[in-house]
Each structure stands twice: as structure tokens, then as C-alpha cells.
Amino acid sequence: MATRGITVNQIGYPPDARKTFICTGEGGTFEIVREADGRIVYRGETELPVYDEASGITVSRGDFTACTEEGGYFVRLHGETSASFAIANNPYAELHTGLLKSFYYFRCGMELEEPYAGPWKHAACHTAEGIVYGEPDRKHGSSGGWHDAGDYGKYTGPGAKAAADLLLAYEFAPQAFQRPVPLPETDGLAPDVLHECRYELEWLLKMQDERTGGAFHKLTTKQFPALDVMPEDDRAELYFMPVSAAATGCFAGVMALAARVYRPFDEAFASRCLAAAERAWEWLEGHPASPENPGFKNPADIATGEYGDPVDLDERYWAAGELFRTTGEAVYHEAFRKLAAETFPKYELGWADMGGYGTIAYLFGEKAKADGTLHASLEAGLLGVAERLARRCAEDGYLTSLRPEDYIWGSNMVLLNRAMLLLIAAKVSGEARYQALALEHVHYLLGRNVLDYSYVTGFGHRAVRHPHHRPSVGDGVEEPVPGLVSGGPNRGLNDDCMQEHLQGKAPAACFIDDELSYAGNEVTIYWNSPAVFVVSHFVK
């Protein structure tokens, strides 16, 4: 399918939102055409063209915010047409369910049955005990949780980020989770997002070393299986990799968060999560941060994802912030204040820089118990970051906060994490413009980008179809597993497929929809999770 020169959000727009399409070149008089009868419902002129550095082209924008009648439409300009899109009162409801349902497809250790999985069903996988690395006689149950990405590894830090995003999505936008997905656990009592998160949390609890309270860094085989291997056919031995401070901090943070969220639904589970978080904190206290600590490194015979992180102050900060918010105990407040005085990113939401989660925990905790000066400082810092992102949006041809240097491995995570931060800033400040800017990021994700791609499998007129995702490659089903967020353009061209096909491309155009492109077209739970958070805010 050819790339169109007129790009839109291929799902659609809410009637009361700003509505913009973007086209290559000079623009001119455009028409909004109703699909049902071919009637022109709106004519307008594009804005003055601007040069978009990230895509390396001149673009023009057309604003059709005045169109508010629900229905299906397309843009016509100079005889060319855009993808079709809807104007609808709740255009992202199905997308939201699909993004959340993807976590069910990532599940490990259980059969995915046809009533829930459809043609993407498969047998139970990775049900054997795992071996504690370096201790061949020490084995533990290891099944459950979510596969991390296009591979079948399971990683404590990235898993904690993904679960945290979903739990925060529910905390901030509970109205978006009223409809069942459905899942095998759907019971009409707890929302399905909490059933799905619990599947991961139960596995994360297995990652706590019962001897020390620290969290194992990851659980993987020694090598990745071939790209077409289904999960139930990956039978190599599984290994719990050594405890790390970064993993333990993430574990403590997400467990303290879970204790708070699950308390109204399951007191016993909430207490179990809190006890695990407190024990992990004890491990952190007994293993203080040190500049000499290199962080986790893969042993010489391990070739799976390392997720190395030499700085663990941000994970400790998150843990202290969540434990203080959940318990109100002074010991965690004091630890948080001390960590806040250290230098590390406090507004990032990536798996390596988790400080933003600690800041969110503190800003949305009980204000009467907070340190007023610190609270004000963190709030001002957050809004300062949001303002910088807003300025970037104003400078960008496609109205996002991504600059050329931001098109890295997983650029769509950068996109969505920033949209998350803008939404948090909207909550803190009450300024609706930040929420509107977050929606511009959603428009990019769903097709209003230079490549005319919806980066979510199964959603949009020109959605990614060939993700680097073993089940999608090996299952014999033509369509990929739906609802998966692709990593997106990567100017680093970090795989052979990108090197072969994308030399000389502008940063925003460094993407190929090919299953071999693991550095551009892989999928992960922690790219889907911020997408769920962001889209939740636009679901009624």
C-alpha cells in the first residue's frame, strides 16, 4: 500500500477536539468529504507551509475543527485523498480495548484459548521451574507474567514500568475501564485492567529472592529462540538472573503502588504486595547506592536482553515515593527527601529512568503530609518540562514533541511517555492545553506522520502488519496479533534490515514494516503501557 501525501489520524477525532491533517508540500484548498454520499461538508485553505526538520520535508496543515457532525470522512486536496477516518463521540474506545487486550496476548505460562485469543490462540508455555543462575540446584516456579517483547524473556524493571502505567491509567481515568475486555478472569467486580495487571504482579512476586528480599533482574533462557518459534516450543532452560538494585527498586515501587490500588478489591493481595515492597526496601537499605556499582551486566554465556542500568537512584526514589504515598510512614518520607536532593532525572518515565514515577507518587499523595517546599519544587519542575515539550510541539511539523535526535530505538515510547507527562501536567495545573497536546501525539501514532503508518497493529487503514514478534511470525495467521505498538522510526538504523533499506533517510522516515527489523518494528509491553495510559484520557 503506497504512502499517501495527506496524513490523518486513521481512527478519527472527537467532535470537540482540534482536527488537523498534514500534507507534504505547499497545500492549498482542501475538502472534507463524507464517505457515505461523497458530499463535501467543508472547504478550507491550508496554513502556510513549514519545513519539518525531523522528516526532511516541507509540510502544510489543514484545520477542520469546525467539522463536528459524526460520520466517516476523508480529506481531498489536489485530487489526492487521505485515509478514511471517523468523527465520533468516543472514537478510541475499541482502540483502547485493543491496546489493553494486547497484554493478554503477551501472557506466559497459560493456554491462550480461542474464546479470548481468537486465531492467535496457542498452548501454555514456559511452565518449567527456573534455575537461579550460578546455583544449579536451586530452582523455583517461574511461570506467569507477560513476555517482554518480540522475544519470550521476562524482565523485572520493564515489567514493573508496564504494570505501573496500567495501574496509574486506572487511577487517573477509571471511566475508561468500565467495559470488559473480556478476559478469562472477568467477573464484573474488579475492572479487567486490574485482572490483567495482577497476572503480571503474581509473576513479579516470584522474582523476589526469598533469601534476601532483593529482586532478580530477569528470567530468560540463555539465548533467544529463532524468530518463528512459538512460545510453547521454546523449551530451553530458564534462569533467574542475579538480584540488582535497579530491579529491586522497581519491584518495591510497583508493589507499593499495587497495594494502594488493589486495597478496595482484595485486602489480602494488597497486604501481600505491601509486605513484598517493604522487604525489598529493606534490601535496598542494606545495599546503598554507590558510584562504583556498575549495575546489572549479562553473564558471559547470556545473550538475552540485558536492560543494564548503572544508576539506581531513580528506582530507589520511585520506591520511597510509592511507599510513602501508600503508608504515610515518616521513614519513607525521609528517604524520599534525601533521594530528591540527588542529581538524576526526576521527570522521565522510561525503563532506565524511572524517576518520573516517584515524582508522580509524591505530587498526588496526601499533600498535608508532604514537604511543602519539595512538593512545590517538584511541581514547578514538572510544569517546566511540560512547557519545554509544548514549545517543541509548536516547532514540529507534525505537532509532536519529538525532535530529530529523539527518533531512537523505541521512539514511539519516547512519544507516548511524553504524552503521559503532558497529561500528568494537565492534572497538576488544570491547563487543558497540555491534554490537547497529548492528543496530537495520539494522532501521530495512528497515522498522522510522514510515513502514513498507524503504528498499532490491527488499527487504522494502513497499520503495521509485520512486527518483530515471534508469535505473529510463527503462528501461521496472516494478520499480526492486534493492538501491539511498534517501536517506530530509529535514526540509528540498529539492525541489518534497517541498514540495508533506510540509508540516507530523515530521522522520522527511518522505519520499515519488516519482521526482521528488531530495532524499529519490535513490540514491547512498555511501549503498549503508556499507550493505554494516554488513550485512557480520551475514552468516555
Look up residue 366 and give its amino acid: E
Distance CA 253, CA 163 (A): 11
Query: Among 196, 194, 222, 225, which residue's Cα sits nearest to residue 107?
Result: 196
Task: Please answer whether residues 149 and 522 qualify as being in contact, where contact means their C-beta atoms are separated by less than 8 angstroms.
Answer: yes
Grid cell, residue 149, equals 517483547
> Which residues share a beta bridge with 77?
30, 80
Q: CA distances (Å), 386 to each of 55, 429, 513, in order? A: 23, 10, 32
Assign 424 to helix, strand or coil.
Answer: helix
Rg value, the chain, Cα: 23
Which residues have CB under 8 Å from 384's CB, separation 6+? none
Residues taking part in catalysis: 468, 513, 522
Q: What CA–CA distance (Å, rounded) separates 73 from 502?
A: 33
Burial (CB count within 10 angstroms: exposed 0-12, middle 13-18, buried 19+), residue 349: buried
Q: If we measure between CA atoms, which residue out of 302, 194, 311, 300 comes closest to residue 250? A: 311
Does residue 174 contact residue 264 with C-beta atoms inside 8 Å?
A: no
Q: Give the CB-side neighbour count of residue 414, counting CA atoms within 13 A.
A: 17
Question: Collapsing DSSP states into helix, strand and coil, what is residue 96?
Answer: helix
Here the cell at position 90 is: 468516543
Picking from 469, 471, 414, 475, the residue whose alpha carbon sits closest to that of residue 445 is 414
Cβ-Cβ contacts under 8 Å for 229 (sequence gap 6 or more): 470, 474
What values do phi and psi take at 44, rounded to 5?
Answer: -155, 175
* Residues contacting 329, CB < 8 A, separation 6+: 323
- Pairing, β 239-240 against β 130-132: parallel
d(CA 455, CA 463): 6
Residue 46 backbone class (left: φ over 0; alpha: ψ -120 to 50; beta: rest): beta
